[in-house]
Structure 1
Amino acid sequence: MERIVLGDAEIIRVVEWQGPFAPARAIVPEVAAATWRENEQWLAPDHWEASSDSYVAALQTWVVRHRGRTVVVDTGVGNGRRRPNAPHFDQRQGDFPERLAAAGIRPEEVDVVVNTHLHADHVGWNTVERDGAWVPAFPNAVYLMPAADYAALDPNSTHARTAPRSEAERGRREDDQLMFADSIAPVRRAGQVVLWEGGHRIDDGLTLEAAPGHTPGSSVLRLTSHGERAVFVGDLLHSPVQLLHPTCNSCFCEDPAQAAASRLRILEQAAQERELVIPAHFGGPGAVEVRRAGSGFAVARWAS
């Protein structure tokens, strides 16, 4: 558990799991193996395991306390979920609720849950199982979900996906259906979901903004407090190696051209306005300030 103070906001990081996840080039295929090796000094060990050439991931939730609100940003994988095509996510049994409690966060006190996009590792703790049924984990919260992602997953929607959109999705449709059933539909039935598109204002200091490409509804959450800024970018970045080559997507990006355009736009603004960039899966400090460096970006400082 780590805390960052930004203006009068408190940002709390709660890690569900962290470690080597997959071969580095399987996650960011367009970045050459030599690039990882040449940058080992700062990529390892928090973001890359050199001995196995593995991408290191953190599955984590960020909690923002601001102006009397408690906002949970992305909810990880969850326990007891059937994810037959995602071994790291399938039937996990972890201590995330205890970690949340250790951070002083009680589920009933959470006001807002933000799902930056609707992938399995961002919605899992939306719900918990009680008496054989999935129910909202945060009983008093409004859950903000991108309407485009919801429509793409909802089996009753005319916009639901009928075929995979990328190599990364092949064979994963079953997991999408299971995820919708256990982590999304129960919250919708409980009347706690607000579907939004384009943009959404939580308060004067917290706003959601569409950043599509990784998924149809992929988004970022901006925080402004007393002149200090942060942007929670979800899966716009999977690894800091993408700062060097911002047009290189992760294997999970569904619309590569759109994902690259969103990444460049958000990073350009972050560099200009000195926003703290907070991705969903960075290890180490987890958050970074960036600066322009040629055709890409570089680390100006890590959060501390």
Structure 2
Amino acid sequence: MVTEQWNVGDISITKVEEVAIWMPVEGLLRVLPAATRAEIERVDWLRPTYLNGDEVNGAVHSLLVETPTHRFVVDTGIGNGKKRMAPLFDNLDTDFMERFETVWRRDEVDGVLPTHLHVDHVGWNTTFDDGRWQPTFPNARYYFAREEYAHWKAFAQDPLAHQAYSEWGYSMVDAVAVFEDSLKPIEDAGLITWVEPGQVVVPGISLISTAGHTPGHVSVLVEDAGESAVITGDLLHSQVQIAQPGWSAEMDTDREEAARTRRNFLERFADTPTLVLGTHFGTPTAGHVVHDGDAFKFVPERG
């Protein structure tokens, strides 16, 4: 699968793809319930890079951020061998980790930094070894936003008392399973470092609050030598949301907040040199946001 890489000053960002998806437009309409096929097709700049006939370009990947002093994995994908309700995520068996280790060995990772704690962002936090789920990266700290973790821990302990996500987006069953096999083992191993939005995690890597998709969702800002890039997380599931920031995802915990956060994010970074890396954008994954009338468009840049 395609690997892209970008430089931000002396910091490098490398994409390791887990799943590449050309999703039928009908599938995207299920993710974005306010969208219509006609409105998607009117977004001319999507073609042909991100919209090809009847399909839209997406992906699940990890972004490996190497500063002069640290090696961080931003989002760890779906993971192998995990039982999930969503067919796309169920019991995967890919060569993701073999390809990951052509970039870094597992024991070379200093930090794991998820934008949020959904099924397709924390799966490789753990691997099944010696009869149990254990941390994949033995020398890493796992940097979890405290509000985000508390939300999913409470959900796992009493799922019926919390919002039930749709089976398409994020089922109640999967939410509990993800906590048990991908989050709780990290807590049990004592590897969590708590972080908050706005915090500098290490020099060159800081967090922006982009709540709405989940309560403690963050985007990751990378800055060095006057250059910058930002990793969106699920603030943006699809490039089309740049043209239509009001289109929130079915699985957003607060769709109105997600729409506000998305527009504020796009206003902040539009027409700036900051490179925007979409966590679910297919290749090319990075580009620049520019104003396009009352909305925005995405100008891709190949790594």
**11-20 or 161-170: bigger deviation:** 161-170
Q: CA deviation at 1:274?
A: 2.3
Native 8 Å contact 2:164 2:171 kept in 1: no
Q: CA deviation digits over 1:244-301, x for unaligned, max 9?
A: 1112112221101111111111111111532111121100210111111222111244
Tell me the residue number matched to 2:10. 8
Runs of 4+ in structure 1 over 6 Å off: 156-161, 168-171
Unaligned runs of 5+ in 2: none
Unaligned runs of 5+ in 1: none
- Residues 168 and 252 in structure 1, CA contact (< 8 A), matched pair in contact too: no
Mean Cα displacement is larger for which, 281-290 or 161-170? 161-170
Residue 127 (structure 2) pairs with residue 123 (structure 1): no
Alpha-carbon shift at residue 161 of structure 1 (Å) = 7.1
Q: Structure 1 residue 47 and structure 2 residue 50: aligned?
A: yes
- Quote the residue 1:101 is aligned against: 101
Match of 2:258 in 1: 259
1:298–1:210: structure 2 CA closer, same or farther, 3 Å change rule?
Answer: same
| TM-score calculated relative to the size of structure 2 | 0.91
Tell me, what secondary structure is at the counterpart of 1:29? coil
1:218-257 aligned at under 5 Å gives the runs: 218-257=217-256
**1:209 equivalent in alignment to 2:208:** yes
Deviations 1:112-165 (Å, cap 9, x if unpaired)?
A: 110100100000000111011111101111111122221111148899772326
Q: Are the counterparts in 2 of residues 249 and 260 from structure 1 also a CA contact under 8 Å?
A: yes
Q: Is contact 1:111–1:140 with CA below 8 Å preserved after alignment?
A: yes
- 1:123 and 1:157, CA in 2 relative to 1: closer, same or farther beyond 3 A? closer
For 1:165 and 1:216, locate their aligned partners in 2 and report how far apart those are by CA, in whole Å.
15
How many residues align? The count is: 299
SS in 2 for 1:4: strand
1:60 partnered with 2:61: yes
* Closer, same or farther: CA 78–158 of 1 in aligned 2, 3 Å: closer
Alpha-carbon distance in structure 1 between the residues aligned to 2:169 and 2:41: 30
| Aligned residue in 2 for 1:17 | 19
1:13-36 alpha-carbon deviations (Å, 9 max, x no partner): 000011234522112222221122
Q: Which residue of structure 2 aligns with residue 77 of structure 1?
A: 78
TM-score (structure 1 length as normaliser):
0.91
